Amino acid sequence: MAELLIIGSERSEAGIPAAMEILRRGGSALEAVERGLILCEDNLADHYVGTGGLPNARGEVELDASIMVGSSRAFGAVGAVKNFPNPISIARAVMEKLPQHALLVGQGAEDFADSVGFKRAELLTPEAKELWLQQLRDVPVQSIEGENTKAMTGDVRYRLAAIELVKKFAPHEGPWGTINIIARDRSGEIVCGVSTSGYPYKHPGRVGDSSIPGAGNYADSRYGAAACTGRGELSLRGGTARTVVENMRHGMSAEDACFEALKDARNLPDDFRAELRCLAITADGHHGGAAGMEGSTYTLMTESSTQPEFRPRKALL
Ligand code: GLY
């Protein structure tokens, strides 16, 4: 019988203790990951996931999420979903209830969620709206290089300002808000889940790495599982989660596998001084993580933990 294990990204501690309780009671890694991420999505103090997530450039909260089962490599995901508080559950339903499909986006994903009975909800909390507006009021429109912004219509100025904001937000301090949870249950099954509201002021319709297998999420029970947070466009381009798992397949530790995958992604040209982070577990239950900056951590609970522990990630710089 395998030892129980859960790791998660920064702020996953809102859901990991309940997820470990599920494993201790004999529940599956799939159930544990979904439950852990639901609690993170419902955490109103968290502005990077679920209800209370910071909205896109149009002021709408759009969510991405995915879940992957290591033994079968079954995968379910949704992207750019509005008005449903728990995209991780819709992602699971895509995997389990929709033959042949792995990823639904936008209106189609919302129609599917209605059809399987998920409840709609308002995701933009007053606090998230105020944070969004406050940054928008501070936009230095005149800083848009080479453009006579005064002569433009409000609509065009607004969109340019939103693009400026995307640039401003990209390198902000502290962890990007996406949440990863990876769990291993008694049977040795490994499941990896990812949920996010993406980055604030993103272009409407933007889907990041959290919904894409091999980019932000990958699980293969033979070798392990990995997930990413941070600039999703980099892990989309680098195939980062799959690279981590491939590195572990070739014998690297979880930490080295993450570190090498981040080094590869860091070499991609990127105007936004992006930071990417990843974490992983091996098939035999070793774990590790890496990040672009010092002081980053991931969260861990084992069978004997009484509370989440924080472990350092290996820093690239
Ligand atoms: N890594 C999450 C995102 O880029 O949306």
The model's pLDDT over 6-31, given as tens digits with 9 standing for 90+, comes to 999 999 999 999 999 999 999 999 99
Give the other-Cβ count within 10 Å of 21's Cβ: 14
Best-predicted range by mean pLDDT (34-43, 128-137, 175-184, 227-236): 34-43
- Residues making up the chain, counted from first to last: 317
pLDDT at 231 > cutoff 70: yes
| pLDDT at 148 (0 to 100) | 59
| pLDDT at 145 (0 to 100) | 54
| pLDDT at 80 (0 to 100) | 98
* Mean pLDDT of the region 169-175: 51
Give 180's strand partners.
Answer: 194
pLDDT at 312 > cutoff 90: yes
In the reported structure, the alpha carbon of residue 231 is separated from the centroid of ligand 1 by a whole-number distance in angstroms of: 5
Question: CA–CA separation, 93 vs 206, rounded Å?
Answer: 22
Question: If pLDDT is split at 50, 70 and 90, which confidence band does 38 have?
Answer: very high
Question: Is the beta carbon of 66 within 6 A of some atom in ligand 1?
Answer: no
| pLDDT at 134 (0 to 100) | 81
pLDDT at 65 > cutoff 70: yes
Question: Is the beta carbon of 224 within 6 A of some atom in ligand 1?
Answer: no
| Ligand 1 pocket: which of 196, 202, 278 to mutate (most atoms within 8 A of CB) | 196
Question: CA–CA separation, 217 vs 180, rounded Å?
Answer: 8
Mutual orientation of helices 29-41 and 16-24 as an angle, nearest 10°?
160
Structure tokens at 216: 């932000």
For a pLDDT cut of 70, what percent of the chain falls above it? Answer: 88
pLDDT at 276 > cutoff 80: yes
Question: Is the beta carbon of 232 within 6 A of some atom in ligand 1?
Answer: yes
In the reported structure, the alpha carbon of residue 48 is separated from the centroid of ligand 1 by a whole-number distance in angstroms of: 10
For the CA of 208, the nearest atom of ligand 1: 5
User: The CATH number of 5-122+175-315 is which of 3.30.470.10, 3.20.20.10, 3.40.640.10, 3.60.20.30?
Assistant: 3.60.20.30
Question: CA–CA separation, 141 vs 126, rounded Å?
Answer: 25
The model's pLDDT over 180-198, given as tens digits with 9 standing for 90+, comes to 999 999 999 999 999 999 9
Contact between 249 and 222 (Cβ < 8 Å): yes
For the CA of 231, the nearest atom of ligand 1: 4
For a pLDDT cut of 90, what percent of the chain falls above it? Answer: 78
Domain ranges within the chain, ordered by starting residue: 5-122+175-315
Question: Is the beta carbon of 209 within 6 A of some atom in ligand 1?
Answer: yes
Question: If pLDDT is split at 50, 70 and 90, which confidence band does 171 have?
Answer: very low
| pLDDT at 270 (0 to 100) | 80
Question: CA–CA separation, 95 vs 80, rounded Å?
Answer: 17
Nearest alpha-carbon partner for 92 in 40, 37, 34, 36:
34
In the reported structure, the alpha carbon of residue 199 is separated from the centroid of ligand 1 by a whole-number distance in angstroms of: 7
| pLDDT at 264 (0 to 100) | 92
Residues annotated as part of the active site: 178
| Ligand 1 pocket: which of 11, 56, 64 to mutate (most atoms within 8 A of CB) | 64
For the CA of 232, the nearest atom of ligand 1: 4
| pLDDT at 273 (0 to 100) | 61
Question: Is the beta carbon of 217 within 6 A of some atom in ligand 1?
Answer: no
pLDDT at 272 > cutoff 70: no
pLDDT at 222 > cutoff 70: yes
Question: Is the beta carbon of 178 within 6 A of some atom in ligand 1?
Answer: yes
Question: Is the beta carbon of 211 within 6 A of some atom in ligand 1?
Answer: no
pLDDT at 205 > cutoff 50: yes
In the reported structure, the alpha carbon of residue 232 is separated from the centroid of ligand 1 by a whole-number distance in angstroms of: 4
Question: Is the beta carbon of 216 within 6 A of some atom in ligand 1?
Answer: yes
Hey, what amino acid is at 180? N
Grouping H, G, I as helix, E, B as strand and the rest as coil, residue 252 is: coil
Look at 311 and 57; give whichever has higher pLDDT.
311
Lowest mean pLDDT among 117-131, 220-234, 266-280: 266-280
pLDDT at 158 > cutoff 80: no
Average pLDDT, the chain: 91
| pLDDT at 167 (0 to 100) | 62
